Structure 1
Amino acid sequence: MKLRVGIVGCGKFADVHVQQVHALDNAALVAVCDLEPLMARQMAVRYSVPAVYSDFGRMLAEQRLDVVHITTPPSSNTALASSAMEAGCHVFIEKPLAPDLKAAQAIVAAAEHHTRKLCINYWYNYDPPGEALRRLVEEGVLGDPVHVESVFGYDLSGVFGSALLGDNEHWVHHLPGKLFHNVLDHVVNKIALFMPDADPLVSAFDHRHRPPSGDAITDAVMDELRFLMQGERVSGYGLISSHARPAGQTLRVYGTRNTIQVDFQKRTVVVETAQTVPTALGRLLSAFSHARAYRRCAYGNLRQFLWAEFHAFEGMRRLLRAFYDCIHHDTAPPIAYSEMLRVSGLMDALIGALVQTRLAREGRR
């Protein structure tokens, strides 16, 4: 039997949710909801969704949904998720889970209280490169992790960036970490995979690289972030850049055996090994070794392309399939609640470190 799915929040990224639900054979999108009726109606027309609502409670009461996708600004996530779970629905929620750890804990507590399943959209970790990395780690290729570098490029001239900078009422302006807060999950959750510490030392620095616009709200949006986390045995470095080109997402994991370089945009995963042949000959052969690794990636990508598994949100489709399967078979969700809360806690620590850095910077002026 197909799961009955509803979506609340019909903004830009909700289209991606609709497309991935339609791509799966174990679920059917039966209703969409938005406070702005026109947004909901337009989405329903685009994707032939039978039911349209502007009242979330009414949608829950009338549609007997199995799953609710929440794609609203995070300030409303706690109330919406709690209402959905109380109505008997499982919840798939966009990142960030909530504006802070306390609100995130309330969402997880609601899931546990109502015995409903909860999943957050950490889809990069389920992209083919993310899954390839996980297999290499499980096979012992990395060894013990030593350091992780997570990089996220954000093009402010794109659809989402333009919407933010062009609207002083955009919900991102109200997040504690503003622009960074909306994408920090994608940077931090990759580091958290290799750093088990719940409370590492954190330092963070940000600045605005673009010239001032003269608008106080727009100019308050910083666009470059650097941070360092130091755990007991593993350190992590994160970078969010709106100006470095190309604007990609990469991960570099240093281990005691080898180092693994992941490029989520180009869909490549390359293991960097120690030089085994001495002298200049070994240095010469290293480039050929890298070339072979990239050739394997190219053939793998071609294979995925031919099998229609090379689209931009393949990772989200795989994560969503795993979440729906866990509902059908009553197994554990693909992402542990403890991991969601640990990432939320690390994000709180990062935002707090940014505030302290800004205060120190102001004190020197």
Structure 2
Amino acid sequence: MRAIGRAEVVAVCDREPLMAEQLAVRLGVPGRYDDLQQMLQNERLDVLHIATPPDSHLALAKMAFAAGCHVFMEKPFALTEAQARVIVDLANEAGRKVGVNYLYNFETPGLQLQQLLDSAALGELVHLDTAYGYNLSGDYGLAVMSDPGHWVHRLPGKLFHNVLDHVLAKVVAHLGDDVQTQVCAFRRRDATGNPVVDAMPDELRFMLRSGHLTVSGLVSAHGRPVAHTLRVVGTRDTVELDYAARTLVHSARQSQPSALGRTFVPWSQGRQFFKNGWRNVGQFRRHEFHYFQCMRVLLNRFYDSIEGRGADPVPQDQILRVCRVIDQIVTGIEASA
């Protein structure tokens, strides 16, 4: 928020007073509350950023819209599509904006992909293949694994419910309202003996179909290196995106005949990665390579929409479609258990 200079952070709120106090002190925020209603009454906020577990989003958003606030929501947007529809309807009734942190669409390769799609350079889309890795040995993974009371265990889709937005937000713009799903979910790690923790699967595969377009998805806690990729197959061309490395390259294509022509393909691919590398260096020099640079882009566009200078960066129909497909995948996860 401070990096983009679009708003002043005036208050934080958490129902645990110590958490609000620690955050306010660490970030130098003047207001700290343990009651949202009191904060809304005292601070006269323009925008409320909700970064709580998804089962609280509907109630908090309802209070925010009643107070005249725009809302920027951390993902998952809501616990279910039905709750998401209520939130969207409340925003529209109040004449306020509601956004969601689907940040990776605004990562450099995501923005490049959108330019290719806008220019029809890839042709008609045939298939999307998306992969997202999750490290259960990382800080957040350890918190989930070591605490059976962690809120992730309350989610219907458990771990996957919390990360599917990152996977689906990249693809739903290309899907229609009628999406067929096939799901396989299972636990690959050894049992701990704790029934709550052991009930959480850590490997997910899914297939979606909407008309002539198909999507394959992989969410893995065990695959290494930890992946965050998207392959977009079109009738004219195919591109491969790596969100961690911030690269987009066109898939290998042999343009010269015979075996000799094959020798040129790796050099062509290498040249693409070289150009991606230099672009990243340039962004680093311009202070545009921050880990959350994509969130800066998204927040700038969200505040533009609030000020009437642009469209919603994540359209409402895409928010609802993500939630709808998550519901379908969660149903498949439960059936796999």
Pairing partner for 1:75 from 46, 55, 72? 55
d(CA) in 2 for partners of 1:170, 1:343: 24
Find the aligned partners of 1:263 and 1:284 in 2 and give their Cα distance: 24
Query: Alpha-carbon deviations, 1:187-209, whole Å to 9, x = none?
Result: 11212133x22122101001111
Provide the rounded CA distance (Å) in 2 between the counterparts of 1:352 and 1:213: 25
| 1:299-340 CA-partner distances (Å, limit 9, x unpaired) | 000001111111111111100011011112364321110110
- On the 8 A contact 1:252/1:259 being kept in 2, the answer is yes
1:95 corresponding residue in structure 2 = 75
Match of 2:109 among 129, 145, 154: 129
Matches of residues 218-229 of structure 1 in structure 2 within 5 Å?
218-229=197-208
Correspondence for 2:122 among 125, 142, 146: 142
Which residues of 2 match residues 1-365 of structure 1 at below 5 A?
21-194=1-174, 196-272=175-251, 274-329=253-308, 331-358=310-337
CA contact (8 A) 2:252 2:269 kept: no
Question: Does the 8 A contact of 1:202 with 1:229 survive in 2?
Answer: yes
Partner secondary structure for residue 178 of structure 2: coil
Moved segments of 4+, more than 6 Å? none
Once the two structures are TM-superposed, the CA of residue 178 in structure 1 deviates from its matched residue by 0.1
Deviation of the 1:132 alpha carbon:
1.0
Distance in 2 between residues matched to 1:274 and 1:48, nearest whole Å:
53
Return the offset for 1:240: 0.5
Spell out, residue by residue over 1:115-161, the C-alpha distance to the aligned partner (whole angstroms, 9 max, x if none).
10000000000011110111122222211110001110110111111
Distance 1:292 1:274 in 2: 13
State the distance in 2 between where 1:342 and 1:240 align.
19
The answer as to whether partners of 1:223 and 1:241 remain within 8 angstroms in 2 is yes
User: Deviation string for 1:233-269 (max 9, x for gaps)?
Assistant: 1000011000111112100011001111000001110
d(CA) in 2 for partners of 1:119, 1:301: 28
Q: TM-score, normalised by structure 1?
A: 0.90
Letter in 2 for 1:93: M
Q: Provide, for residues 256-298 of structure 1, a one-character-per-residue CA deviation record: whole Å limited to 9, x for no partner.
A: 0111100000111001253221111221111111011000100
| Gaps in structure 1 of 5+ consecutive residues | 1-20, 359-365
| Separation in structure 2 between the aligned mates of residue 347 and residue 298 of structure 1, nearest angstrom | 35
CA distance in 2, matches of 1:170, 1:354: 19
| Structure 2: segments with no counterpart, 5+ residues | none
Matched AA of 1:286: V
Q: CA deviation at 1:342?
A: 0.7
Letter in 2 for 1:192: V
TM-score by length of 2: 0.98
The letter for the 1-side match of 2:75 is: K
Rounded to whole Å, the distance in 2 between the matches of 1:88 and 1:155 is 39
The whole-number CA distance in structure 1 between the counterparts of 2:314 and 2:291 is 21
Give the length in aligned residue pairs.
Answer: 337
- Equivalent residue of 2:307, what SS? helix
Aligned residue type for 1:95: K
How many percent of aligned residue pairs carry the same amino acid? 44
Contact 2:186 2:336 in 1 (8 A): no
Q: Which amino acid aligns with 2:247?
A: T
Q: Which amino acid aligns with 1:91?
A: V
SS at match of 1:199: coil
